[in-house]
Amino acid sequence: MNLTRRQTLQAMLAATALPFASRAAFAGDWAAIEAAAKGQEVFFNAWGGADTINAYIIWAGEQVTKRYGVKVTHVKLADTGEAVKRVRDEVAAGKKDGTVDLIWINGENFKTMKTEKLLYGPWAESVPSFANVDVKGKPTTVQDFSEKVEGLEAPWGMAQFTFFADGKKVAKPPLSMKELLDFTKANPGKFTYPAPPDFHGTTFIKQAMLELVADKSIFAKPIDKASFDANVAKPLYEYLDALKPNLWREGKQYAKAASEITQSVGDGDLLIGMTFNPNEPANLVASRKMPDSTIAWQNSGGTIGNTHFVAIPANAKAKEGAQVFANFLLSPEGQAKKANIKLWGDPTVLDISKLQGEDAKLFASIAVPGAVSIPGPTLLEPDSSFVKLIEESWLAKYGQG
């Protein structure tokens, strides 16, 4: 990979600024990084709660060992915060050969590590595979919730708010929140959303907020209650008030989780479900929980999405090996394998239109039942300060039914 003079200079300056930085890792020469990585062991701290994900990590580690001589050990976490605390304690103690080389991370944990200067970098935009990342169509690949990534973590996979239904029962899916309101008027009692603070319920309300509030600029910065009440509450609650009588049980009771809604859609009691994994509807079809006629879609103006990442702690021992492994995870081969619904089904962060030849063929698979057939753009999450205000105001208004 050829770096510009500016990128090389930035890398050199960053190397001298970080107490635990390795000059080899910032050399700007990918061949040198691969050479330094050979023989290193990368302790990859990542959630270990799914057999499919664990199997994928084993496969990816085997490929990197064969090709680059880098050993990958999956340190299975129940909570990413465990690894963050370990890094914090080690850095505070001056431990330069840390026990965490790469960490699966996003959101608040990333912001915490960035703020406390617990991350190594910038490095992520210098790995060769980053050239194919869809930074325009998927802006969440360079902004983690409301925090700019700035090369401190590499994108790994996508999530995006998605709706699904049996296409035989919902021939024309609603492609905006306003169309959804019309749909519920025509089909009373056949739609609901989970009550906040359930993640999917809060996301549904944030989606409505993003579509209905005229001044979109307010979402990128922190907001206080006075500003929320003045600029957000009126259009948001006018919509939710209009929606309420059309909901399941007339909005007097809400689902506790999206999984309850999914079950009811499968049983035919409700018509539309929601998920933050665009491949979940296809997985539901594959497991026979939804019929082959299942359709999935995102609103035409876009739906909320985010990206999950891998990052290198400031005191990582195997910085070069971590970059080599991260680069493979971001490669067309690594991304296509991960996106395969039969294996994991985690959407890619790459811009498929940039790929050519054999790389493009990796993604040229036959559409499976339940796959997203009407995709929408990815919308950035609003600033995290909105969550508390949304949940508190919703519970105060509708919490008693």
pLDDT tens for residues 35-75? 999 999 999 999 998 888 999 999 999 999 999 999 999 99
pLDDT tens per residue, range 173-220: 999 999 999 999 999 999 999 999 999 999 999 999 999 999 999 999
Q: Which residue has better confidence, 296 or 20?
A: 296
Rounded mean pLDDT, 30-35: 97
Angle between helix axes 332-339 and 319-329 (nearest 10 degrees) is: 60
Residue 336 is predicted with a pLDDT of 95
CA dihedral 160, 45, 87, 133 (to 10 degrees): -40
* 295 membership: H or E segment, kind and range: strand 294-297
Into which CATH architecture does domain 5-158+307-366 fall? Answer: 3-Layer(aba) Sandwich (3.40)
Residue 1 pLDDT > 50: no
Per the DSSP assignment, residues forming a β-bridge with 71 are 41
Rounded mean pLDDT, 132-138: 93
Residue 230 pLDDT > 70: yes
Residue 399 is predicted with a pLDDT of 86
Residue 28 is predicted with a pLDDT of 56
Q: How confident is the model at residue 384 (pLDDT cuts 50, 70, 90)?
A: confident
Rounded mean pLDDT, 312-333: 98
Could you count the other beta carbons within 10 Å of the beta carbon of residue 261?
25
CATH code for residues 160-305+376-398: 3.40.190.10
Residues whose CB is less than 8 angstroms from the CB of residue 58 and which lie 6 or more positions away in sequence, other chains included: 74
pTM of the entire structure?
0.80
Residue 5 pLDDT > 70: no
Q: Which residue has better confidence, 376 or 343?
A: 376
Q: How confident is the model at residue 243 (pLDDT cuts 50, 70, 90)?
A: very high
Residue 400 is predicted with a pLDDT of 59
Phi/psi of residue 371, nearest 5 degrees: -70, 155
Residue 337 pLDDT > 60: yes
Could you count the other beta carbons within 10 Å of the beta carbon of residue 206?
22
Closest CA to 254 of 198, 184, 195, 203: 195
Residue 14 is predicted with a pLDDT of 39
Q: How confident is the model at residue 23 (pLDDT cuts 50, 70, 90)?
A: very low
Residue 27 pLDDT > 70: no
Q: Which of 142-151, 181-190, 286-295 has the highest mean pLDDT?
A: 181-190
pLDDT tens per residue, range 87-122: 999 999 999 999 999 999 988 899 999 999 999 999
Closest CA to 57 of 358, 325, 286: 325
Q: How confident is the model at residue 364 (pLDDT cuts 50, 70, 90)?
A: confident
Which 3 state secondary structure label does DSSP give 114?
Answer: helix
Burial of 360 (0-12, 13-18, 19+ CB in 10 A): middle
Which 3 state secondary structure label does DSSP give 147?
Answer: strand
Residue 4 is predicted with a pLDDT of 42
Spatial separation of the C-alpha atoms in residues 145 and 309, rounded to whole Å: 12
Could you count the other beta carbons within 10 Å of the beta carbon of residue 266?
17
Residues whose CB is less than 8 angstroms from the CB of residue 199 and which lie 6 or more positions away in sequence, other chains included: 258, 276
Beta carbons of 315 and 197 less than 8 angstroms apart: no
> CA geometry: angle at 137 spanning 313 and 156, to 5°?
30
Q: Side chain identity at 250, as an amino acid letter?
A: E
Boundaries of CATH 3.40.190.10 in the chain?
5-158+307-366, 160-305+376-398
Rounded mean pLDDT, 240-246: 98
Rg (CA), the chain: 22
* 274 membership: H or E segment, kind and range: strand 272-275
Spatial separation of the C-alpha atoms in residues 183 and 179, rounded to whole Å: 6
What number of residues does the chain have? 401
Residue 370 pLDDT > 80: yes
Q: Which two tokens stand for residue 183?
A: 């749909």
Residue at token pair 């059309």:
246
Spatial separation of the C-alpha atoms in residues 206 and 210, rounded to whole Å: 6
Q: Which two tokens stand for residue 312?
A: 């290198």
Q: Are strands 294-297 and 272-275 parallel, antiparallel or unpaired?
A: unpaired
Q: Please tell me the number of Cα atoms within 13 Å of 99 on its side-chain side.
A: 11
Could you count the other beta carbons within 10 Å of the beta carbon of residue 175?
16
Closest CA to 21 of 110, 96, 100: 96
Q: Side chain identity at 126, as an amino acid letter?
A: S
